[in-house]
Amino acid sequence: MIHLKTPQEIELMKTGGMMLSMVVKEAAEFVRPGMTTKEIDDFATIRIGELGGGVSFNKVPGYKFATCLCVNEQVVHTPPSNYVLKAGDILTIDAGVFYKGFHTDKATTIVVGGNSKSEQTDFLKVGYEALGAGLGAVKQGNRIGNVSAAIERVFKGTGYWIMRDLTGHGVGRGLHEDPMVPGYVDRKIGKTPRIVPGMVLAIEVIYSMKKAHIVAEKGSDWSLITDNKSIAACFEDTIAVFENKTSILTRKYGKI
């Protein structure tokens, strides 16, 4: 069931989304080679509280952290740890803010140390552009399938692989709500839900350098990785639909 939000509820989500935008931007700037992913989570946890928000992810039963921090072949849901980051690692920072009863969700992927190889730059550029295309297709009267198609078009001819088992989603009082928003066309567009005012969606682009399947990481209750060690990335923003316009709730502070 799709839960539509009132303008007043979306305004609350916008406040939380601005907090989240700031936290993800600052966390990305905080990252340095030699630090652990747990240090990044500690930083994000403190900043969310300082800004007046609450942590979303620790409301998932059994999960204790503010972020998921995925490195290289880790795709999603990787808890912070004592892993020491190295220059050139690909790091996804995924976080959520809970504010006055509503969640927002956001992710970005960076190269640790900032000095990326051209292969890494191209890889991350495609994902960010695909997110932009998906957000641009979120329009009143379009369908969820139009969003999926817009994301998929950016990937054509790149050789990169959009993950089949992980999707974007609705977001609101629940961190994950209907509808699911795949990054690829999985059925006839006309069979997918129509986009209407009051929808709030977390548009998510999850992909890998090479075709891969997702498997559970050995020794983790949460982390999913590529089965062939292919590098993975994720870009995500939360967007709200109004009459004849949309608002990205989690992107006030620059590209990130």
Q: How far lies 30's CA from each of 16, 23, 40, 110, 236, in Å?
A: 21, 10, 7, 12, 19
Which parts of the chain have pLDDT scores under 50?
none
The answer to whether position 25 is within a domain reads yes
Q: Are 197 and 140 in contact, with CB atoms under 8 Å apart?
A: yes
Instruction: Please indicate, yes or no, if residue 1 is contained in any of the structural domains.
Output: no
176 is in an annotated binding site: yes
Say if residue 105 carries a ligand binding annotation.
yes
pTM of the full predicted structure?
0.97
The pLDDT assigned to 211 comes to: 98
Residue 66: give the domain boundaries: 7-248
The reply to whether 62 falls in a domain is yes
What's the CA gap between 112 and 103, in Å, rounded?
28
**Residue 109 CB contacts under 8 Å (≥ 6 apart), including other chains:** 90, 91, 92, 93, 124, 127, 233, 234, 235
The Cα 20–Cα 128 span in angstroms is: 18
By the 8 A CB rule, do 95 and 57 touch? yes
| Cβ-contact 106, 94 below 8 angstroms | yes
Residue 160 falls inside a structural domain: yes
Q: State both tokens at 184.
A: 């690829």
Q: Determine if residue 177 is labeled as part of a ligand binding site.
A: no
Within a domain: residue 93? yes
Residue 255: inside a domain: no
Number of domains in the chain: 1
Is 94 annotated as ligand-binding? yes
Q: Check which CATH number belongs to the domain holding 21 and give it.
A: 3.90.230.10
- Using DSSP's 3-state secondary structure scheme, residue 235 falls into strand
Give the pLDDT of residue 117: 83
Residue 254 is assigned to a structural domain of this protein = no
Residue 77 assigned as binding residue = yes
Domain assignment present for 166: yes
Tens digits of residue pLDDT in 45-93: 999 999 999 999 999 999 999 999 999 999 999 999 999 999 999 999 9
